[in-house]
Amino acid sequence: MKISVIIPTRNEEANIERLIDSLRNTSDQERTEIIVVDGQSSDRTADVAQVLADKVIRATHPGRGLQMHEGALFASGDLLLFLHADTELPLNWQGILYGAWSSSQKPVATAFRLNFSDDGLFFRFLAIAANWRTSWTGIPHGDQAIAIDREIYFRAGGFLAVPIMEEYFLFNKLRWFGCVRILSEPIKTSTRRYEQNGRVFNAIRNTLIIALFYVGAPPSFLARLYR
């Protein structure tokens, strides 16, 4: 099984080299394809990735859903792993995925359990709450390193070009194709988003956005609220 790692980026010059080096050092390179889809960065993200990744796609418009879908269109792997540039996978990530996807009850998608780069009390509580939400809704967020069977991904229509909540739109369709498995192993994602405007404010805002999505608020409104 070949894994295509699809990394949507925008101004990730500080992270992209470290991330790709880590992927190279912890994977079987013959069965791993690294694709960077850059959303019009104003820094050197695309130039740095051009030297290190297998493919670099310069998206016509920024937007994580659109970028990830463009990456999937160019991917040659059997499994599509959508990875944020500020997320750190466990060292044995490839073996974990092979184990999950070779089981007798094959999932349609997997995601890692959420953890944060900061091990403080606030972020430990936030991770517990986020993992509970995922187990309840069956919908992981993008910073949990979502992996999807390539054929099922396209049968479900893939990520939509929406400004926010792209995972929710896709997983609402994926649930008709089979089970989503949340892996017991954690990833570590950066807390940098929570340092903008204050930790508590960001946590409350994100919870409000999810609630508003479920009552039918349009993505354009949710995106304005997020920003």
Residue among 134, 201, 193 at smallest CA distance from 168: 134
Residue among 12, 96, 117, 98 at smallest CA distance from 56: 12
Residue 179 lies in a domain: yes
Q: Over the stretch 29-72, which tens digit does the pLDDT of each residue have?
A: 899 999 999 999 999 999 999 999 999 999 988 899 999 999 99
pLDDT exceeds 90 at position 223: yes
Q: Mean pLDDT across the chain, nearest whole number?
A: 94
Tokens coding 17: 């080299």
Residue 89 lies in a domain: yes
Residue 217 lies in a domain: no
Residue 227 lies in a domain: no
Range of the domain at 66: 3-195
Residue 28 lies in a domain: yes
Residue 87: other Cβ atoms inside 10 A: 21
CATH number of the domain at 89, please: 3.90.550.10
pLDDT (0 to 100) of residue 63: 92
203 or 2, which is more confident: 2
- Confidence tier at 104 by pLDDT (50, 70, 90): confident
106 or 73, which is more confident: 73
DSSP string, 186-208: EPEE--HHHHSS-HHHHHHHHHH
pLDDT exceeds 80 at position 197: no
Overall number of domains in the chain: 1
Distance CA 28, CA 119 (A): 30
Pairing of β 180-186 and β 109-113: parallel
- Please compute the mean of the pLDDT values over residues 4-12 and round it to a whole number: 97
Residue 63 lies in a domain: yes
Q: For residue 58, with 0-12 CB atoms within 10 Å meaning exposed, 13-18 middle and 19 or more buried, which class applies?
A: middle
Residue 220 lies in a domain: no
Please answer whether residues 93 and 34 qualify as being in contact, where contact means their C-beta atoms are separated by less than 8 angstroms. Answer: no
Residue 219 lies in a domain: no
